[in-house]
Copies of this chain bind each other. A is one copy, B any other.
């Protein structure tokens, strides 16, 4: 099932849409967070009439299992260029996530005033190992997305170069990644802290914010994830996604809990 089909929603009236968590978009039974955000963002985009997220924040309240969901969205403000909406996803009476986001038409303005960064220096995709199941880290919906890690990253769970992950992303079936697909790209890689030489269990995300800076062109996306502060039981994970033209198209940050 394509990403577009797996995040499709149908109007159910009065700011409500029906949809579903498709099988295969989960990690050990729990829907990928970025994928859930894409469903909520689709509802918010429908509510605002503006197709592209500019900045979306989700707080994750309960794990999502494959099956039907209800998305709701409500416009808070409609402006000339931007519209802001709240959105949520519910399943079996439980709220899975709550979202607040601003939407627009993705800018075609590719002016670069100043960039103090460069895309990750990755070997060609064919020379980057495909992320597959290991004993310590099952594949994040590997039949849906193709994540190829920089060879220097090593295997998840095997501490190596510190909490930094770089690699390529695309959908498995070659479907182009649109601005909603970027919400998945920033949450598709193994957590940085799995490479930090720490005894770590699960890492539930409290909150994730993604800024979409431009509509990506077709092709592989080069991604980088870093963590600088693992303190007090929390860590942040910062992400960047660069498209095939070398533009940074999405920036993300999530706050997650460290469990043993």
Contacts and interface: CB of A to CB of B under 8 A. Distances in A.
Contacts of A86: 86, 98, 100
A32 interface: no
Contacts of A206: 54-55, 82, 102
B59 A114 contact: no
Contact of A213 (B54, B110, B231): B231
A186 to B, nearest CB: 13
A198 B102 contact: no
Nearest to A247: B231
Interface string A103-144: 000010111111111000000000000000000000000000
Interface in A52-82: 54-55, 57, 59, 61-62, 76-77, 79, 82
Given A229-B117, A229-B251, A207 B57 contact: yes
Count class of interface residues, chain A: 35 or more
**Interface residues of chain A: helix, strand, loop or mixed (majority):** strand
Nearest to A111: B232
B255 A55 contact: yes
A95 interface: yes
Contact of A232 (B59, B77, B163, B214): B214
Contact of A115 (B54, B59, B230): B230
B57 A100 contact: yes
Nearest to A104: B206
A113 B228 contact: no
7 contacts: A55-B206, A57-B100, A62-B77, A99-B100, A102-B206, A113-B196, A236-B251
